[in-house]
């Protein structure tokens, strides 16, 4: 008589755990971890993924925060797997490992990660390939950095690339990876950036490059998934969702504009950050990871200082030692060499760029919600239009985003959409509402303003300066608070010094990247209920004695809901004990009777 076998199955549902099912004897030979199966869940039939197979009923490891282990399921209560979906792809072991990391780090059910990924794994595979099976995937030789010897299994440190025009280096890296039979992923913060990077990379990569987002055709998205699962060397440009595509052996992962807040997912669980998730994906597959931007995020700068990241070889990062600078006079393809300019890859000198700071406290008439533009800014706009050039106005006050005035040759945009509207013919860029932007209750506001201005300075430095071309664009900022430190950095051309000052400030007040933040938001349509449940949770968290700093409750500054919401902010140490503390917090929240109110946990909020 054949011994009964059991499997733990992960369903794409908002469930905190996996379920144990019996494998019928006729299905046992085909049942392996990663296979997609159908099984009853309540009154419905669901498609799930086998994660573990055992010869006795089994439960997953219990979090250390629980006082006692759950009881093993009774054999009579265990239901049977109905079928194995042979036509659907097999989920590799490393991919399941990545999903479990997302759920563990961002404190959300693994089922929701599987739900987010399910659309990327629902296609009819061409034929089983050696790369597609979990066993083959785990045994593959991982990708190495170009400067590492072949056959040496290790995870290279992430590289930071600080440059204005980065796509040429991206293309060089993608070509090298695909020639080596590897797959590539380029992550962008938004859909327009995806299209822009895709179009820049397309020449020379036509049959090996895919753009993956919701506005692309179903046929194109399906082809991208099948090509990746079949193991073909190709590259994908996408956003958060692209992290969960069926890669078999990714050799290169690029995070474009790594400092952009658009990389933080905010609409639905899991609330992951593309940059951090990309680095973990690269760690699991031993892939080469490149973080690119015109100015580094404070998290990246912090890791560069600690030696956890490396500067991209041959591209100096201000204030960071750069290994691998080419020897003068010996050019390296695609890397600037002193004295030998590399076409298409300029290294701009931002100190030569000037920013005009307009003090609106001296304006007459006074700048207001009805009169947004200072008279000195208006003069610059008129002069720019007289030259036949375009004007870009950035509105930093979110209360004015809905009704922006229309004017010929003048484009209005929100701060984090600035890079979409910069054109060769743009002659003036002016940041309005900077005071409101900097005064927002967001500890990242000054950092984000520095990133925006660094992008503008980098773009202006790369503009034509020949006699036959128009002069470089003028950049100006309207503010009534000229004493803010950012304006000193802007006027002296030492914008990168601002990041070092911000790091020192974060260290003093124990904010990220020196610590980790965790936001717990409780909401309900009744204000009293929302506040009472938040206070109850606050008291329970204090009794848990985790030793962390818990602040609040306070009302969120931005909350896209008609419900009343209150938030608690937890500051965790950046140590090896952080995950254990997070598990304790999650267990405490689950055991707190918050119903009928609802809650959401946001790890590393943007």
- The total of other beta-carbon atoms located within 10 Å of residue 267's CB is 7
Tokens linked to 363: 């304006």
- Yes or no: say if 46 and 79 are a contact pair by the CB < 8 Å rule: no
- 256: CB partners within 8 A, 6+ apart: 166, 170, 186, 187, 188, 189, 193, 197, 292, 293
Which pLDDT belongs to residue 403?
Answer: 74
- pLDDT band (50, 70, 90) for residue 16: confident
Give the whole-number percent of the chain exceeding pLDDT 70. 83
Q: Is the peptide bond before 270 cis (omega within 30 degrees of 0)?
A: yes
Q: pLDDT by residue (tens digit) across 378-432?
A: 999 999 999 999 999 999 988 887 777 788 899 999 999 999 999 999 999 999 9
Which pLDDT belongs to residue 565?
Answer: 94
Q: pLDDT by residue (tens digit) across 307-352?
A: 999 999 988 776 565 444 343 333 333 333 333 333 333 444 555 5
How far the first Cα of the chain sits from its last, in Å, is 57
178 exposure class (CB count in 10 Å sphere: 0-12, 13-18, 19+): buried
Tokens linked to 324: 């691998």
CATH class of 5-86: alpha beta
- 587: CB partners within 8 A, 6+ apart: 63, 65, 66
For the four alpha carbons of 335, 340, 344 and 347, in that order, the dihedral sign comes to: positive
Supply angle C-alpha 308, 309, 311, rounded to 5.
Answer: 145
- Yes or no: say if 81 and 23 are a contact pair by the CB < 8 Å rule: yes
Tokens linked to 171: 């293309």
Tokens linked to 147: 């400067």
Q: Which residues pair with 356 in a beta bridge?
A: 476
Into which CATH architecture does domain 350-509 fall? 3-Layer(aba) Sandwich (3.40)
Cα 127 to Cα 231: distance, rounded to the nearest angstrom: 11
Tokens linked to 38: 């159908």
- Yes or no: say if 404 and 414 are a contact pair by the CB < 8 Å rule: no
**CATH superfamily, domain at 130-311:** P-loop containing nucleotide triphosphate hydrolases (3.40.50.300)
- Yes or no: say if 245 and 212 are a contact pair by the CB < 8 Å rule: yes
> Strand 390-395 to strand 410-413: parallel, antiparallel, or no bridges (unpaired)?
parallel
For the cut 90, the answer to whether the pLDDT of residue 153 exceeds it is no
- Domain 5-86 and domain 515-603, same fold? Reply is no
Q: pLDDT by residue (tens digit) across 174-219?
A: 999 999 999 999 999 999 999 999 999 999 998 999 999 999 999 9
509-512 — which CB contacts under 8 Å span 24+ positions?
Answer: 510/549, 510/571, 511/443, 511/571, 512/298, 512/299, 512/604
Cα 550 to Cα 519: distance, rounded to the nearest angstrom: 10
- The total of other beta-carbon atoms located within 10 Å of residue 1's CB is 4
Specify the residue for token string 């009343």: 564
Round the CA-based radius of gyration of the chain to a whole number and report it: 26
> What is the reported pTM?
0.87
pLDDT: is 475 or 350 the higher one? 475
What are the residue boundaries of the structural domains of the chain, listed by start?
A: 5-86, 130-311, 350-509, 515-603
Q: pLDDT by residue (tens digit) across 490-516?
A: 877 777 788 989 999 999 999 999 999
- Yes or no: say if 90 and 34 are a contact pair by the CB < 8 Å rule: yes
Give phi and psi for 261, each to the nearest 5. Answer: -65, -15
Q: Which residues pair with 475 in a beta bridge?
A: 355, 429
- Yes or no: say if 247 and 185 are a contact pair by the CB < 8 Å rule: yes
533, containing H or E segment: helix 527-543
For the cut 50, the answer to whether the pLDDT of residue 594 exceeds it is yes
Cα 292 to Cα 20: distance, rounded to the nearest angstrom: 44
Q: Which residues pair with 80 in a beta bridge?
A: 22
Tokens linked to 300: 């990246």
| Angle between the N-to-C axes of helices 298-306 and 495-509, in degrees from 0 to 180, rounded to the nearest 10 | 80
Give phi and psi for 223, each to the nearest 5. Answer: -65, -40
Cα 17 to Cα 290: distance, rounded to the nearest angstrom: 34
According to CATH, what is the number of the domain 515-603? Answer: 3.30.70.600
For residue 569, give the 3-state DSSP assignment.
strand
């Amino acid at each position: 008589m054949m011994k009964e076998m059991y499997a733990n199955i992960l369903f794409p549902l908002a469930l905190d755990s996996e379920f144990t099912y019996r494998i019928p004897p006729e299905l046992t030979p085909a049942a392996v971890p990663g296979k997609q199966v159908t099984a009853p869940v309540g009154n419905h039939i669901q498609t799930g993924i086998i994660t573990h197979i055992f010869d006795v009923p089994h439960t997953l490891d219990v979090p250390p925060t629980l006082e006692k282990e759950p009881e093993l399921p009774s054999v009579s209560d265990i239901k049977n797997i109905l079928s194995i979906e042979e036509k659907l792809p097999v989920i590799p072991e490393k991919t399941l490992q990545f999903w479990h990391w997302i759920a563990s780090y961002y404190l959300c059910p693994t089922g929701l990660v599987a739900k987010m990924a399910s659309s990327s794994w629902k296609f009819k595979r061409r034929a089983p390939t050696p790369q597609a099976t979990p066993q083959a995937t785990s045994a593959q030789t991982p990708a190495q950095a170009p400067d590492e010897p072949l056959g040496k299994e290790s995870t290279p440190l992430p590289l930071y690339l600080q440059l204005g025009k980065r796509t040429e280096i991206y293309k060089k890296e993608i070509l090298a990876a695909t020639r080596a039979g590897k797959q590539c992923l380029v992550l962008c913060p938004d859909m327009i950036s995806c299209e822009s990077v895709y179009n820049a990379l397309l020449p020379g990569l036509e049959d090996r490059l895919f753009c993956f987002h919701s506005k692309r055709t179903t046929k194109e998205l399906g082809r991208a998934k099948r090509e990746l699962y079949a193991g073909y060397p190709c590259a994908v440009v996408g956003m958060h969702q692209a992290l969960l595509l069926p890669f078999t052996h990714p050799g290169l992962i690029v995070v474009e504009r790594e400092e952009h807040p658009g990389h933080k997912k905010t609409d639905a669980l899991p609330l992951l950050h593309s940059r951090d998730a990309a680095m973990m994906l690269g760690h699991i597959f031993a892939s080469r990871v490149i973080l690119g931007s015109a100015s580094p995020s404070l998290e990246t700068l912090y890791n560069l200082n600690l030696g956890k990241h490396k500067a991209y070889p041959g591209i100096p990062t201000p204030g960071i030692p750069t290994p691998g600078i080419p020897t003068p006079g010996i050019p390296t393809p695609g890397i600037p060499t002193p004295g030998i300019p590399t076409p298409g890859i300029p290294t701009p000198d931002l100190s030569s760029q000037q920013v005009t700071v307009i003090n609106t406290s001296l304006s007459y008439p006074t700048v207001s919600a009805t009169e947004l533009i200072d008279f000195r800014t208006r003069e610059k706009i008129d002069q720019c239009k007289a030259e036949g050039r375009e004007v870009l106005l950035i509105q930093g006050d979110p209360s004015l985003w809905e009704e922006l005035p229309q004017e010929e040759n003048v484009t209005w945009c929100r701060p984090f959409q600035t890079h979409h509207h910069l054109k060769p013919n743009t002659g003036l860029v002016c940041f309005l509402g900077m005071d409101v932007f900097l005064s927002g209750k967001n500890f990242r506001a000054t950092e984000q303003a520095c990133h925006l201005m660094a992008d503008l300075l980098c773009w202006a430095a790369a503009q034509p300066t020949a006699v036959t071309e128009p002069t470089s664009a003028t950049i100006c900022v309207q503010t009534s608070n000229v004493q803010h430190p950012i304006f000193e950095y802007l006027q002296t051309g030492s914008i990168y010094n601002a990041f070092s000052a911000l790091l020192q400030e974060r260290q003093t007040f124990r904010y990220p990247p020196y610590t980790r933040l965790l936001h717990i938001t409780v909401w309900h349509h009744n204000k009293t209920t929302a506040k009472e449940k938040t206070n109850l949770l606050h008291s329970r968290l204090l009794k848990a004695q985790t030793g962390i700093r818990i602040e609040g409750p306070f009302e969120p500054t931005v909350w896209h809901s008609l419900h009343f919401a209150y938030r608690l902010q937890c500051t965790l140490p950046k140590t090896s004990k952080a995950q254990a503390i997070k598990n304790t917090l999650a267990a405490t929240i689950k055991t707190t009777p918050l119903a009928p109110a609802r809650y959401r946990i946001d790890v590393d909020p943007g």
